[in-house]
Amino acid sequence: MDKASSRLKVLALLVALMFVALSTRLWFLQVLATTQFQQDALNNSVRLTYLPPLRGQIYDDQGRLLVGNQSSLEVSIDRSALGSHGEAVIARLARLLHIDVGTLVKSLQDQRYYPFQPIPVAEFVPKDAVFYISEHPDLFPGVQVAQTAVRSYPDGRLAAHVLGYVGLINAQEYDQLKSKGYQQSDVIGRAGVEQVYEKYLRGTQGEQKYIVNSDGETIRKFATIEPTPGDDLHLTIDARIQAAAERELAAGLLRARGQTDSSGRPLQANAGAVVVLDAKTGAVRAMASLPSYDPRWLVRGLTPSESAYLYKSPMAPALNRAMQLGYIPGSTFKPITALVALKEGIASLGGSYPCTSTYTHPGDTSGAIFHNWDASNSYMSLYDAIRVSCDTVFYGFGSQFYFHYVNDQLGSGGELLQADLRQFGFGSPTGVDLPSEASGLVPDAAWAKTRPDLFPDGWVPGGDILTMIGSTYVTASPLQLAQAYGAIANGGHLCRPHVVGEVVAPDGTIAKRPEAHCDRRLPYSPAELSYIRSAMRGVTSSGTAACAFSGFPFSQIAVGGKTGTAERPPYQDTSWFASMAGPNPDAPEYIVVTMVEQGGFGAQVAAPINRDVIQDIYHLAPTGGSGCSSGLSQDR
């Protein structure tokens, strides 16, 4: 086999040559030229197309759909596929969709999109236009039509301020949120629960992964990850009560405009709000704010006049007046300040106090005189002071608080009134799950220092005296007032108002349960709270709101309330009525607070609205009684 072995050497030589060739080439590729190949590897990239999730839906407490999704045919343009006929295609498309060519070109220059991403240029494209595009692909290279989901509002304007709306993400938001997976074409909650519960409503986007080479050519397609729909919100809002509140508020504003203020001018009644709370839990049953807007405008894109109305007009219809603005609460503050006076021993349940026509702070030589709306000049109980809304009784309490402040100026507990009002939730947001909540203001010595225009001499008796009747400087949102009234109604539990009950995931599990809302206990005795509640029932039966509530079936539904008329020069007075209602007078079920800007006396405009809302809640027959603009009803 010697010969065979020499021939095997030939074979071995050939095999060795193979190894030499492979090794040489590998040396070239992996050692000499590796830098270039590593660069090429970097240039290879994965591109993702995101599949937008269906946004969660919003229901009321009975499961009635408030915000759903509807489909829209969206036309988008893939610039890289437009080819050399781009201008002709755009002109053709503009004609077909009745869009201005300039607008179309402008949307194509959107810097937020990568060159390979199709840019949406039109929504709600009519079906015949879509058919035309798909039947003539040669005329529309790079033009794509896709079905997208947009918001639908089965009840139109109902609860518009609570629900909020969604809008296309803007450049600044996109910069902040892109790390959370937001895309340039995503919508984002802009107001109301749409904004606050964005992370639940949004869902998880799906992905379609492609590999492209450095020329941008798609090379491979990976499996699709389907999007997960967002969580549904189940609100505490009762659509029936919400509709009633909106209806009665609108009707009340209209009625008010036919009436005059104390100086004979017609009432403006340009805006107003109604809040209905569950007295025991703080759940918001209704929250109405007028003027309002139609969220459907935002779905199909605002017209210039709609945009000007919504964002620029002085009517500020986008503002939720129930919680985004603080108003001077007027005499609706008295049940609260009365409780504070009781707590601090300044007033007592058995006490009797002078209700004079004017009041001067003891020892004050500045000449400041505080007036009462009524000149009765008699001694009265706290009950009657609330029932007929006597200011001077409360002025006297205010002086006591001021003395306490003066005596304990350097101590920490001097500002008893302010501390107690803050404990009631005033001066800070309630924490309701709605955006941009107003804090309101509890005026105190520190605040007075920041306003030398109003308080050149620092904190003066007038600060405490006026705060006692909810006048001049103190402000609160209707929601804050409702929260405080809720505590009076439910035995002293300060409940955080909330509009979302449960957040429910697509698989039916609870994504977010309501937290404990009533975790703050106020230090008022049941006797004190009961006394104030009965005084408020006196308001509706024989007090300042007796006229508005004449004929009301109190035997079925007990209503206690308080009128308020807040001076707000140069504007007309803010009209208030805050109440609690329910079959059991000792356990009211609902808190209803009504506020009307430039609405005149509380008993004149706000109280009838409030009464009508309560009647609607309890399916009671209307009792009329709206012409109450004289006598007892003219309180502050």
Q: Which stretch binds other proteins (CB under 8 A): 25-33, 297-305, 349-357, 384-392?
A: 25-33
Query: What is the rounded CA–CA span in Å between residue 207 and residue 190?
Result: 25
User: By CB under 8 A, what part of segment 356-395 binds other proteins?
Assistant: none
In contact, 414 and 405? CB cutoff 8 Å: yes
Q: In the bound complex, what is the minimum distance in angstroms from residue 205's beta carbon to other proteins?
A: 16
Q: How many Cα atoms sit within 13 Å of 175 on the Cβ side?
A: 3
Q: Which of 610, 603, 536, 597 is nearest to 567 (CA)?
A: 597
Q: Which stretch binds other proteins (CB under 8 A): 3-11, 76-84, 232-240, 401-409?
A: 3-11
Tokens of residue 156, six digits: 């139109």
User: By CB under 8 A, what part of segment 284-323 binds other proteins?
Assistant: none
Between residues 44 and 409, which has the closer beta carbon with respect to other proteins?
44
Q: In the bound complex, what is the minimum distance in angstroms from residue 247's beta carbon to other proteins?
A: 55
User: By CB under 8 A, what part of segment 425-444 binds other proteins?
Assistant: none
Rule CB under 8 A: choose which of 41, 410, 516, 621 binds other proteins.
41
Number of residues that bind other proteins (CB under 8 A): 39
Rule CB under 8 A: choose which of 31, 410, 516, 621 binds other proteins.
31
Rule CB under 8 A: choose which of 108, 139, 211, 445 binds other proteins.
211
Q: Which stretch binds other proteins (CB under 8 A): 5-13, 91-99, 268-276, 572-580?
A: 5-13
Q: Does 29 help bind other proteins (rule: CB under 8 A)?
A: yes
Query: What is the rounded CA–CA span in Å between residue 499 and residue 39?
Result: 55
Between residues 48 and 316, which has the closer beta carbon with respect to other proteins?
48
Q: Which stretch binds other proteins (CB under 8 A): 213-221, 371-379, 575-583, 596-604?
A: 213-221
Q: In the bound complex, what is the minimum distance in angstroms from residue 182's beta carbon to other proteins?
A: 22
Q: Does 23 help bind other proteins (rule: CB under 8 A)?
A: yes
What are the strands, taking DSSP E only, across 25-128? 45-51, 58-59, 65-77, 119-122
What is the SS3 assignment for 296-319?
Answer: HHHHHCCCHHHHHHHHCCCCCCCC
Rule CB under 8 A: choose which of 3, 180, 312, 513 binds other proteins.
3
Q: Which stretch binds other proteins (CB under 8 A): 29-37, 283-291, 340-348, 427-435?
A: 29-37
Residue 309: C-alpha distances to residues 220, 318, 319, 398 (Å): 49, 9, 12, 43
Between residues 25 and 106, which has the closer beta carbon with respect to other proteins?
25
Q: In the bound complex, what is the minimum distance in angstroms from residue 217's beta carbon to other proteins?
A: 8
User: By CB under 8 A, what part of segment 90-119 binds other proteins?
Assistant: none
Q: Does 507 help bind other proteins (rule: CB under 8 A)?
A: no
Which residues have C-beta within 8 Å of that of residue 448, sequence separation ≥ 6? 454, 455, 458, 459, 460, 463
User: By CB under 8 A, what part of segment 216-235 binds other proteins?
Assistant: 217, 219-220, 222-223
Residue 615: C-alpha distances to residues 240, 550, 621, 625 (Å): 12, 13, 7, 13
User: By CB under 8 A, what part of segment 549-608 binds other proteins?
Assistant: none
Rule CB under 8 A: choose which of 170, 213, 262, 358 binds other proteins.
213
Q: Which stretch binds other proteins (CB under 8 A): 13-21, 239-247, 477-485, 563-571?
A: 13-21
Q: Which of 71, 232, 249 is nearest to 161 (CA)?
A: 249
Query: What is the rounded CA–CA span in Å between residue 321 and residue 439?
Result: 13
User: By CB under 8 A, what part of segment 44-73 binds other proteins?
Assistant: 44, 46
- Buried b or exposed e, range 423-451, using 16+ CB within 10 angstroms: bbbbbebbebbbbebbebbbbbbebbeee
Rule CB under 8 A: choose which of 34, 70, 378, 436 binds other proteins.
34
Between residues 222 and 571, which has the closer beta carbon with respect to other proteins?
222
Residue 359: C-alpha distances to residues 364, 403, 493 (Å): 11, 16, 35
DSSP character for 322?
T
- Side chain identity, residue 246: E
The DSSP line for 576-617 is: EEEEEEESSTTS--EEEEEEEET---IIIIIHHHHHHHHHHH
Q: Is the peptide bond preceding residue 291 cis, with omega within 30 degrees of 0?
A: yes
Query: What is the rounded CA–CA span in Å between residue 420 and residue 437?
Result: 21
Tokens of residue 385, six digits: 């002071």
Q: Which stretch binds other proteins (CB under 8 A): 9-17, 227-235, 435-443, 481-489?
A: 9-17
Chain residues that interact with other proteins, rule: CB under 8 A:
1, 3-5, 7-8, 10-12, 14-15, 18-19, 21-23, 25-27, 29-31, 33-34, 36-38, 40-41, 44, 46, 209, 211, 213, 217, 219-220, 222-223
